[in-house]
Amino acid sequence: MNSVWIKDINKPEFPALNKDIKTDVLIIGGGMAGILCAYMLKETGVDCVLAEAKEICGGVTRNTTAKITLQHGLIYHNLIRRFGKEKALLYYKAQKEACEKISMLCADIECDYEQRNSFVYSLDDKEKLINELSALKLIGADADFCAHTELPFKTAGAVRVKEQAQFHPLKFAYSISKGLPIYENTKVLELLPKTAVTEHGVIEWKKLIVATHFPINNKHGGYFLKLYQHRSYVLALKGAQLLDGMYVDHSETGLSFRTYKDILLLGGGGHRTGKTGGNWAELADFAKRHYPYAQTVSKWATQDCMSLDGVPYIGRYSKNTPDMFVAAGFNKWGMSSSMVSALILADMVQGRENPYAKVFDPSRSILTPQLAVNAFESALGVLTPTAPRCPHLGCALKYNPHEHSWDCPCHGSRFDENGKLLDNPATDDKSM
């Protein structure tokens, strides 16, 4: 159950920390966001260190579908409605700059970078598409409406943004990570003021960036209420209709499509982690109906942190932690949002203002309908009288028969059948 990205690729090796060190900036987490933060800081001459508990890109980054786009579902209409045109425009400019920065880096990296048009489609709600198109035009984005698509089923149309991109995420990340001050197999066991304790050494820091997908420090920021995790699935199909564009349904539980070489990546079957959903069975049924002669050559699942309002949390970890920063809640758009994180945090740790920071401020209002849902799920998980339980905050785990794992519906931690930790925010294995 491995993604197509890890086939025939050589990963650079990095040592484990085995001594006490000091650094100006410590980055915890070796996924795309952490690596890009380290890269940007090194480029500006900042002394930094990245600590990864296992291997770099060993989590969500290796399981992404790797679309590089500023088009994040039907987000701009919602941003204007909730925050106003100014902040929607800043969100757009941040994502646009991030995509352009990735494109510039890819010019010197063999990572299968390709420009593709991006489409958000709807099965039956043309009005939502028109509203999104109006929002994009209001902020100056070049977008249009397509009544017909390449997809093998009827839609109500799609909103198209041209000249977006896709690439091989590991070829890109492994390339830019070479030469960076990275320690693998260096798990942070405890965070103390200005100090991170690992198994074989202590790291003293002046500034700290937490890029661990789901933030690991529960004492500050309230991320256990501000985030939930969503699981989704991918089938890699050979012999299916290949597409020129990248497609995603505006619905959280809809399907996504992109081509990689001679393979179609079909994504979907999603659900809140710890709940039930369509999983691979839904995708297999779709493939049987629409691509009857296709062969499944790989399949995998991924997990995304979802914020309360659709905007990532990038910036100061909390109002009470002036030297701690965070990058989390990318809402399924981790490629561009990882670069946005690097652009913003590279400025913030150096005391510089960033024009996009106020949009992504983790301390913004949390009063949204999703907050009530998250609070209910947390209370339900804590009060459910069953075992085993998650070591993160004590919620009851649910067995996932499709992946043979124990999943937490509160915050998304996952464990294999023997209790070994698969996904955070839990930091320890669970006794089963």
- Parts of the chain belonging to CATH 3.50.50.60: 4-64+171-226+309-360
* pLDDT tens column, 29-77: 999 999 999 999 999 999 999 999 999 999 999 999 999 999 999 999 9
Looking at the chain, the whole-number percentage of residues with pLDDT higher than 90 is 79
- DSSP 3-state assignment of 233? strand
Give the gyration radius of the chain's Cα atoms: 21
Does residue 394 surpass a pLDDT of 70? yes
- Give 431's pLDDT tier (boundaries 50, 70, 90): low
* pLDDT tens column, 80-102: 999 999 999 999 999 999 999 99
> What is the pLDDT of the chain when averaged over all its residues?
93
* Mean pLDDT of the region 327-331: 97
- Report DSSP letters for 145-173, one per residue: EES--SSSS--SEEEEEEEEEE--HHHHH
- Parts of the chain belonging to CATH 3.30.70: 228-304
- Parts of the chain belonging to CATH 2.102.10.10: 369-423
- What's residue 432's pLDDT? 54
User: Which phi and psi (to 5°) does residue 151 adopt?
Assistant: -65, 150
Contact yes or no for 411/229 (Cβ under 8 A): yes
DSSP class of 389: B
* Mean pLDDT of the region 234-262: 96
Instruction: Write out the CATH class of domain 369-423.
Output: mainly beta
* pLDDT tens column, 6-32: 988 999 999 999 999 999 999 999 999
195-198 and 201-210 strand pairing: antiparallel
- What's residue 38's pLDDT? 98
* pLDDT tens column, 106-123: 999 999 999 999 999 999
Does residue 287 surpass a pLDDT of 90? yes
CATH number of this structure's domain 228-304, picked from the four choices 1.10.287, 3.30.70, 1.10.510, 3.30.310: 3.30.70
Q: Please state whether the peptide bond connecting residue 385 to the residue before it is cis, i.e. omega within 30 degrees of 0.
A: no
Looking at the chain, the whole-number percentage of residues with pLDDT higher than 70 is 98
Does residue 231 surpass a pLDDT of 60? yes
- What's residue 363's pLDDT? 95
- What's residue 382's pLDDT? 67
Q: Which residues does residue 229 pair with via DSSP β-bridges, in sequence order?
A: 305
* 404 vs 376: which has the higher pLDDT: 404
- What's residue 381's pLDDT? 62
The upper half-sphere exposure of residue 351, i.e. CA atoms within 13 Å in the direction of its Cβ, equals 2
The structural architecture, per CATH, of the domain 4-64+171-226+309-360 is 3-Layer(bba) Sandwich (3.50)
Nearest to 197 by CA among 376, 427, 387, 388: 427
Window from 36-40, 149-153, 227-231, 401-405 with minimum mean pLDDT:
401-405
Window from 174-178, 226-230, 302-306, 391-395 with minimum mean pLDDT:
391-395
Q: What is the C-alpha separation between 310 and 308, in angstroms, rounded? A: 6
Run of H or E residues at 134: helix 126-138
- What's residue 385's pLDDT? 78
End-to-end CA distance of the chain, in Å? 23
Does residue 197 surpass a pLDDT of 70? yes
- What's residue 383's pLDDT? 64
